[in-house]
């Protein structure tokens, strides 16, 4: 039978369709039970995922944040059980990366070097830190399923969310509610952030202490940003060379005598040259003697895998994007930004920068289907909201970024607060040597250096995508947590 739609029916249907809005869950949770084998030991746990509101001063919800909270079962005394609070970066990035590829009880199905494979999906993480700590993965506003809640006029005050200081302040308020609701005030607490998430957790370390009176035992910085610590000019240029050397070493682009070295031995040599010889040459700029400039270009070429002529053409100032394009130009490919092990193909071999980030497209290939399926099918969280891998958070107010100083001050005020830095040697966005520089410059007095530690890995920005480093990096976090827990009854004092 042929169906006939009248104009009136069509009008009603269209009006009804347009009136249906995607609902933002303001305050809801779903809890499921699971188990995982970690270091050959079976661990039972619950996974609670949901939306928790953020309120304004009038008690009205202005945002709802999506989170996933893993809690080990059968723990009688949570006052001895550490809680790890996890953030990713962007600043518009969801918590997906560390959630399903690093510290959580489930990880992506990828190959041992981190490249996507099909069928997509999730498998057990035998290296998760859930054996020693509970974990909550938090998605800031407009990441994951987190959303701002418009006022009666349908407006959102973006200044409350999208900026260095605003981000830290509202997340501290939200965490106060989360810790209270889940009865975790007595638990040792740790923050872990990746990339821009390191800016976020460095600011939170002080904000939680000073505004929420919540003290931490540790902060873990994964592929840290500059944290507001200046390194422009000659220092910024010189600091690129150790990363250039690492990427060139990986791609067999160095002379045989360097290529035959262990990576750490090579990088120690390049670091010493960078600090003791290259930086002084760059400081004099155009007044550098020609012979010294020539010698510097030759040495930079020796360590970087790109030609002396190219380095001189750039006045010793070869930027990152040019390096990613130039290193394997003769082979017709580019190298990745966040992880220079990855290769890309451009429309033209000519040019000053790659057409796209080879590593990021590869990661999205595997992460996006996995997180959407996992949350809805394994954790039973149902919503029609789109999961923002990268959400609309711009313009982002980056003014007044003093997060490095915030972290230093938090450490100074809290004798129990230690910091671990983790970096991949092949990360060209937040390079390992700049991470070291950040650590060196964080506290000029040197009085806190025994509470700052660095770990490097033969991988990129997300070092945990490589199977060997997934194991090693989680073990480093596990040891950091265990070593930073004070003995029972030990006073926090200098």
pLDDT tens digits, 445-493: 999 999 999 999 999 999 999 999 999 999 999 999 999 999 999 999 9
H or E element at residue 84: strand 83-87
* Boundary (domain end) residue, out of 356, 390, 423: 356
Q: Are residues 345 and 422 in the same domain?
A: no
Q: Are residues 109 and 183 in the same domain?
A: yes
Measured CA to CA, the distance from residue 356 to residue 403 in angstroms comes to 30
Kindly state the average pLDDT of the residues 26-32: 95
Q: Which residues contact 436 (CB under 8 A, 6 or more apart)?
A: 271, 421, 423, 454
* Residues pairing with 124 in the sheet: 106
Predicted confidence at residue 20, as pLDDT, reads 58
* Boundary (domain end) residue, out of 324, 356, 388: 356
Measured CA to CA, the distance from residue 10 to residue 6 in angstroms comes to 6
Q: Are residues 43 and 172 in the same domain?
A: yes
Q: Are residues 107 and 202 in the same domain?
A: yes
How many domains is the chain partitioned into structurally? 2
Q: Are residues 49 and 155 in the same domain?
A: yes
In a domain, 100, yes or no: yes
Predicted confidence at residue 3, as pLDDT, reads 40
Structure tokens at 342: 């990855």
Q: Which residues contact 320 (CB under 8 A, 6 or more apart)?
A: 240, 337, 428, 429
State phi, psi for 208 to the nearest 5 degrees. -65, -40
Specify whether the CB–CB gap between 294 and 302 falls below 8 A: no
Specify whether the CB–CB gap between 135 and 129 falls below 8 A: yes
H or E element at residue 213: none
Is 19 a residue whose pLDDT tops 60?
A: no
Give the domain extent around 261: 233-356
* Boundary (domain end) residue, out of 289, 321, 356: 356
Q: Are residues 224 and 254 in the same domain?
A: no
Predicted confidence at residue 152, as pLDDT, reads 83
Measured CA to CA, the distance from residue 226 to residue 445 in angstroms comes to 19
Residue-wise pLDDT for 239-251, tens only, equals: 999 999 999 999 9
In a domain, 12, yes or no: no
Where helices occur in 251-357 by DSSP H, the ranges are: 256-259, 263-273, 279-283, 290-304, 308-313, 320-326
In a domain, 17, yes or no: no
CATH of the domain at 376: 3.40.50.1820
Q: Are residues 65 and 208 in the same domain?
A: yes
Q: Are residues 329 and 387 in the same domain?
A: no
In a domain, 276, yes or no: yes
Structure tokens at 353: 């920068």
Q: Are residues 266 and 352 in the same domain?
A: yes
Kindly state the average pLDDT of the residues 21-36: 92
Is 333 a residue whose pLDDT tops 80?
A: yes
Q: Are residues 211 and 93 in the same domain?
A: yes
Is 146 a residue whose pLDDT tops 50?
A: yes
Kindly state the average pLDDT of the residues 144-169: 93
Q: Are residues 429 and 288 in the same domain?
A: no
Q: Are residues 326 and 439 in the same domain?
A: no
In a domain, 130, yes or no: yes
Q: Which residues contact 113 (CB under 8 A, 6 or more apart)?
A: 341, 465, 466, 467
Residue-wise pLDDT for 172-204, tens only, equals: 999 999 999 999 999 999 999 999 999 999 999
The phi-psi region of residue 183 (left if phi > 0; otherwise alpha if psi is between -120 and 50; otherwise beta) is: left
Residue-wise pLDDT for 426-448, tens only, equals: 999 999 999 999 999 999 999 99
Is 9 a residue whose pLDDT tops 80?
A: no
Q: What is the mean pLDDT of the chain?
A: 94
Sign of CA dihedral 147, 150, 154, 157: negative
- Percentage of the chain with pLDDT > 90? 90
Predicted confidence at residue 15, as pLDDT, reads 38
Measured CA to CA, the distance from residue 446 to residue 31 in angstroms comes to 46
């Amino acid at each position: 039978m042929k169906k006939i739609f009248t104009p009136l029916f069509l009008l009603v249907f269209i009006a009804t369709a347009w009136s249906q809005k995607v609902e933002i869950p303001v305050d809801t949770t779903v809890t499921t039970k699971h188990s995982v084998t970690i270091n050959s030991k079976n661990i039972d746990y619950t996974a609670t995922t949901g939306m928790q509101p953020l309120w304004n001063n009038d008690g009205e919800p202005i945002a709802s944040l999506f989170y996933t909270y893993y809690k080990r079962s059968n723990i009688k005394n949570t006052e001895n059980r550490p809680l790890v609070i996890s953030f990713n970066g962007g600043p518009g990035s969801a918590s997906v990366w560390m959630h399903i590829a690093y510290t959580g009880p489930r990880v992506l199905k990828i190959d041992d070097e981190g490249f996507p494979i099909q069928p997509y999906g999730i498998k057990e993480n035998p290296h998760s830190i859930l054996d020693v700590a509970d974990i909550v993965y938090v998605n800031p506003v407009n990441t994951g399923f987190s959303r701002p809640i418009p006022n009666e006029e349908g407006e959102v005050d973006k200044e409350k969310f999208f900026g260095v200081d605003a981000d830290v302040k509202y997340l501290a308020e939200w965490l106060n509610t989360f810790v209270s609701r889940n009865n975790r005030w007595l638990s040792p607490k740790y923050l872990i952030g990746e990339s821009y998430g390191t800016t976020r957790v460095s600011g939170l370390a002080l904000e939680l202490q000073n505004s929420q009176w919540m003290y931490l035992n540790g902060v873990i910085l994964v592929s840290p940003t500059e944290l507001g610590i200046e390194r422009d000019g000659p220092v910024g240029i010189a600091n690129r060379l150790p990363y250039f050397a690492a990427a060139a070493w990986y791609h067999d682009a160095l002379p045989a005598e360097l290529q035959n070295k262990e990576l750490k031995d090579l990088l120690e040599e390049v670091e010493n040259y960078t600090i003791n010889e290259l930086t002084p040459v760059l400081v004099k700029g155009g007044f550098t003697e020609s012979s010294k400039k020539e010698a510097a270009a030759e040495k930079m070429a020796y360590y970087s895998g790109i030609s002396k002529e190219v380095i001189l053409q750039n006045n010793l100032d070869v930027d990152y994007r040019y390096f990613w394009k130039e290193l394997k130009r003769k082979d017709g490919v580019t190298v990745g930004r966040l992880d220079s092990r990855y290769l890309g193909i451009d429309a033209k071999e000519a040019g000053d920068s790659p057409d796209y980030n080879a590593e990021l497209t590869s990661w999205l290939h595997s992460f996006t289907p996995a997180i959407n399926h996992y949350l809805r099918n394994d954790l039973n969280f149902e919503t029609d909201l789109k999961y923002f891998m990268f959400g609309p958070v711009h313009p982002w107010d980056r003014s007044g970024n003093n997060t490095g100083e915030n972290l230093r001050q938090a450490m100074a005020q809290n004798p129990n607060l230690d910091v671990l830095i983790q970096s991949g040697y092949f990360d060209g966005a937040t390079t390992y040597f700049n991470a070291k520089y950040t650590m060196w410059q964080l506290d000029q007095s040197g009085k806190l250096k025994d509470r700052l530690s660095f770990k490097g890995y033969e991988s990129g920005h997300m070092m945990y995508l490589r199977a060997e480093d997934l194991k090693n990096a989680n073990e480093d976090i596990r040891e950091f947590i265990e070593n930073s827990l004070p003995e029972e009854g030990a006073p926090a004092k200098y």
